[in-house]
Structure 1
Amino acid sequence: MNTKNLVLMALLVGVGAVLYIIIPGINGGMKPDFMLTMMFIGILLFPNVKSTFLLGISTGVISGLFSTFPGGFVPNIIDKAVTAFVFLGLVLLLNKLANKVAVGVILTGIGTLISGTVFLSTAIFVFGAGAIFQELFVIVVIPAIAINAIAFFIIYPIIGKLIKRTSFETALTV
């Protein structure tokens, strides 16, 4: 892992944080998690354990700091770490196919589903969050799956083209 890769991962997390902050809440203030989308892009670009660990933890901490969900800090860290490694497993399983936009959109949907499930389960288990799992899942997670998939569909090809024009060594350029 070199400095250029770390800088690119930090930029992805930073862009995700900015998008997360400026996008207004939906369904009672809950927000789609664009940091998750950027984390998925980072994992697709750098599909290795070290990068995934850094992306998962940094995304979790920053998401937790900006979370509008009561007691959302700890569940965000847990959910991003778990989701990052499950997503990495799927990417490694699919190998070169994972870099196709259509496959990436599907993986983003699956990753968002996993993230939402882990987050809600953790929040309800640890903090006894007042809402019912199914209710929150339908109101927040399902729309987030669609929004994150659309965001990935728009953002990933742009980042892919930019990466190919630079000297970055990523899964797209190898």
Structure 2
Amino acid sequence: MKLRNNIFTALLLAIGFILHQITPGIFGGMKFDFLLSFIFISLLINDTFKNTILTALLGGLLSAMTTTFPGGQLPNIIDKLITCIVLFFVIKYLRRFNLNSLLVGFISSLGTFISGTVFLLSALLITGLPVSFRILLTTVVLPTILVNAVVTVFIYQIVRHAMKVSKINL
């Protein structure tokens, strides 16, 4: 894997980490995971399996460091790893089509749903949940799906344009 690709992934995750850090915890200690948007953009721009694993591990560690969910460190790593691997195959399949804003929004929505569900299930099994699974799914995960879809599409377009203007080809 090229060093340039790793640096680009690290920069995207650093931006997502900062946004994740400053986002306050909401219902039940959960917070909107804006780091996910940057994880998805990293996977869309560099869709190699090595980058997928790198992104999953770094994203999981970064979100584990900033979690406000009690005992949410390990569930963060688990959910990012599973989400990135599933999305790797989804993105590989969808590459056959033109990756327009609709598909990017779909990938983000699917990834956010997988991530939130896996996080809640693993947290339920490892530490327990402060409120019911259904309540957290409807009050945190579903709104995050909408927010992440919009944010991911918006930032993906900006990143693609910046790469085109600066003639960066990953």
Contact 1:5–1:168 (CA under 8 A) maintained in structure 2: no
Q: Provide the identity percentage.
A: 37
Contact 2:60–2:78 (CA under 8 A) maintained in structure 1: yes
Contact 1:98–1:104 (CA under 8 A) maintained in structure 2: no
Q: What's the offset of the Cα at 1:28?
A: 5.2
Match of 1:53 in 2: 53
Long gaps (5+) in structure 2: none
TM-score (ref. length: structure 1): 0.92
| 1:14 maps onto 2:17 in alignment | no
Contact 2:28–2:130 (CA under 8 A) maintained in structure 1: no
The C-alpha deviation readout for 1:44-90, integer Å capped at 9, x for no partner, is 00111000000000000110110000100000000000000111110
TM-score (ref. length: structure 2): 0.94
Match of 1:154 in 2: 154
- AA paired with 1:103? L
Structure 1 segments of 4+ aligned residues over 6 angstroms from their partners: none
Match of 2:44 in 1: 44
Aligned residues: 170
- AA paired with 1:22? I
Contact 1:4–1:168 (CA under 8 A) maintained in structure 2: no
**Structure 1 CA distance for aligned equivalents of residues 129 and 24 of structure 2:** 22
RMSD of aligned C-alpha atoms? Answer: 1.4
| 1:92 maps onto 2:96 in alignment | no
Q: What's the offset of the Cα at 1:167?
A: 4.2
